[in-house]
Amino acid sequence: MRFIDLLLKKRNGDKLGPEEIEFLIQRYVAGKIPDYQMSAFLMAIYFNSLDREETAWLTESMAASGNTLDLSRIDGFKVDKHSSGGVGDTVSLVLVPLVAAAGLKIGKLSGRGLGHTGGTIDKLESIPGFQVDLSNEDFLSAIETEGLSIMEHTEELVPADQKIYELRDSTGTVESLPLIISSIMSKKIACGPDGIVLDIKTGTGAFLKEMKRAEELAKGCVDIGEEVGLNVSALITDMNQPLGRAVGNALEVEQAIKVLKGEIAGDLREVTVHLSAELLLQSPRANALEEGLEIAEEKLSSGEALGKFRAMVENQGGNSGIIDDIGLLPRSEGKVEIRAPSSGYVSELDALEIGKAANTLGSGRREMGEEIDPSVGVELNKKIGEEVQEDEPLAWLHYNDRSKLEEVKNTVKDAFGFSESPPDKPTLIKKRLR
């Protein structure tokens, strides 16, 4: 079998077989296929795509390209969750303790952010002392004893995805749906869960801005789950405005704690409850979606989810005192208001522009490895559909570098649009697939 023959086959739009795809992945990870040849193959996929079977074979080959997590020693129903990413997306910090409180076992491998704000790992590292670099044994032990753990994605897990993603980023093939699907699902399969829920976001602040593309991605991932015998469901959720009211690492941790305490409700809580209900429905814990929603709401209201969050923080070396004293989280030196130019209703709130503002303040990275400032970000006082009075605060900017402030003020101010009458609020859960 020769690489060039397989490249020509896909270039001509022909279907590859499972052995051919496995050969490609194994040889590439082993360094036997150079980047320039794999780049050509990715471009052939970009133009000619992969069908459902080819995508499943690629996904399975990538999942088997390195180490896998063996969860067999852990009793109970094991679950995982993936988000396609957005602005203010703090769902994992609420969902992980919530489903653990409901009796499921969840071990989540997460990454760092590149863009608007940090990823889940960066957010957790804003908690003093919190350890994200765990051994597999410590990770599995935490899931066994506490029912939950979140740690940083390791290089040994699905190395094919890491190598291929770097090429996709530099060859203009990031948007290929089969490659996106295989990237998402290979990592989840390698983690060995019994069930997975996907949060596919669409809108101005999402990677997939068009509903049609979001639907194609969600359906593709669900189909791959079916192909490989894995229980997968997906929700397509709105990202035309930030999720929640905090954009920035420590600010988002604070918000997650307030949701777990029952101090605030809103869209972050609603999305998290619905995603948790999907996992409960996959498990023996719930027989209907309504039952899953009731269980999730009860675990939040009772404080059991907060208790699991406290246990996770303590188990991973973090200072759980942040739960009772938010002031222990990193705090910016300055805070300024952005005020409404007139009275009316908020009719637009561009998630992407808010994300850019937070990034400029230092909450995100422009390049991998760049340091972030956990204390800065944007805190929203008003969202779409809410009434506002002239000169009332629309948002607060948390900053440490005053030189960036004027640019950010204008960005945030321009992200808001207004109307004289109440607009329709965006539909939060746009579609459900399973």
Name the residues annotated as catalytic. 82, 161, 168, 183, 187
Give the position of tokens 């973090």. Answer: 318
Measured from the Cβ of residue 137, the count of other Cβ atoms closer than 10 Å reads: 8
Residue 77 and residue 105 in contact, taking contact as beta carbons nearer than 8 Å: yes
> What single-letter DSSP state applies at residue 199?
E
Sign, CA dihedral 202-205-206-212, equals positive
Task: Give the side-chain half-sphere CA count within 13 A for 417.
Answer: 12
Residue 234 and residue 218 in contact, taking contact as beta carbons nearer than 8 Å: yes
Tokens (6 digits) for 312: 């996770």
Sign, CA dihedral 278-280-286-291, equals negative
Class of residue 429 by CB neighbours under 10 A (exposed 0-12, middle 13-18, buried 19+): middle
Residue 399 pairs in a beta bridge with 334
Task: Give the side-chain half-sphere CA count within 13 A for 365.
Answer: 13
Sign, CA dihedral 174-177-180-182, equals negative
Distance CA 264, CA 331 (A): 21
Sign, CA dihedral 284-285-288-289, equals negative
**Residue 83: which residues within 8 A CB-CB, separation 6 or more?**
89, 91, 92, 198, 199, 201
Tokens (6 digits) for 138: 């410590």
> What amino acid occupies position 194?
D
Distance CA 83, CA 313 (A): 22
**Residue 327: which residues within 8 A CB-CB, separation 6 or more?**
none
